[in-house]
Amino acid sequence: MLTLSNDRAGFGRKHSGALKVRDFDFEIKTVADDGTFNGYGSVWDVVDSYQEIVARGAFTDSLEQINAKGRPVPILWQHQSSQPIGAWSNLKEDDHGLWGDGAILLEAGDMEKRAYAHMKARTVTGLSIGYWVRESTFDEKTGIRTLTKLDLVEISLVTFPANDDARVEAVKFKLAHGEMPTEREMEKFLREAGFSKSRAAGVVAHGLTEMRRRESERDATNNPALKAISDTLAGFTL
């Protein structure tokens, strides 16, 4: 079995109306020949880099609904809905967080075999959940938002560890769901894509920053400028 253990929380989105993701590091102990593993998809009471924490019991209602439907939560590759690679089972909440058993469907195709190979080689070092925020509270004194009720959508295997919110997938994920990447995210992405520091900063300062100021709609498909960036990023792969 592959055992995953959380080290620290990754990133989230502050807008309750948008699909969010949260990353975790994990440690590979063993990899089963049949592609099975287990671990925590989320942990309680850890403040992430966006000053958010997941409260104990946040997934209770969602898990009941998932069990009632009888459909497993998918394992996605890099949060790409077009690339399911397996399924989660026995998802439950315990004193530490959201625990589950995962299985990569090795006979399904090349993507599944690729994911399995990366897990064995320890080149995939992240576990990330996708979810909707249903209820949350905000402490004005501490600036911390507590997520009290979440709808679980998927749990992905991702390439990079927690808190690396500048990776290509993070920027593409935001744009695909109608969100604007931060200036820091976009600048670091451009640097990784080959732009010089000054050029990347210039693009962000004269393009993205102005677009963020004008942006009033969440739907990227209705915004030509956002759609252009999203289409451009779609051509980049890791």
Alpha helices in the chain (DSSP H): 60-69, 110-121, 168-176, 183-192, 197-203, 209-214, 224-233
pLDDT value at 166 more than 70: no
Using CA atoms, how far residue 146 sits from 45, 64, 152, 154, 197, in Å, is: 9, 21, 16, 20, 36
pLDDT in tens, 189-223: 677 666 787 887 887 777 665 555 555 444 444 55
Q: Tell me what the mean pLDDT of segment 25-35 comes to.
A: 71
pLDDT score, position 186: 74
For 89-105, the pLDDT digits (tens) are: 999 999 989 988 999 99
**What residue ranges do the domains of the chain occupy?**
2-163, 173-233
By three-state DSSP, how is residue 124 classified? Answer: coil
* Selected residue with higher pLDDT from 162 and 154: 154
**At which residue do the structure tokens 């679980």 appear?**
152
Mean pLDDT across the chain: 76
**Mean pLDDT, residues 134-163 taken together:** 86
Q: What is the pLDDT averaged over residues 56-82?
A: 93
**Per-residue pLDDT tens digits for 114-143:** 999 998 888 886 778 889 999 999 999 999
The answer to whether residue 233 scores a pLDDT higher than 80 is: no
Nearest Cα to 158, choosing from 44, 41, 64?
41
- Higher pLDDT: 5 or 76? It is 76
Q: State the first-to-last Cα distance of the chain, in angstroms, to the nearest integer.
A: 27
Statement: residue 11 has pLDDT above 50: no
pLDDT range class, residue 3, cuts 50, 70, 90: very low
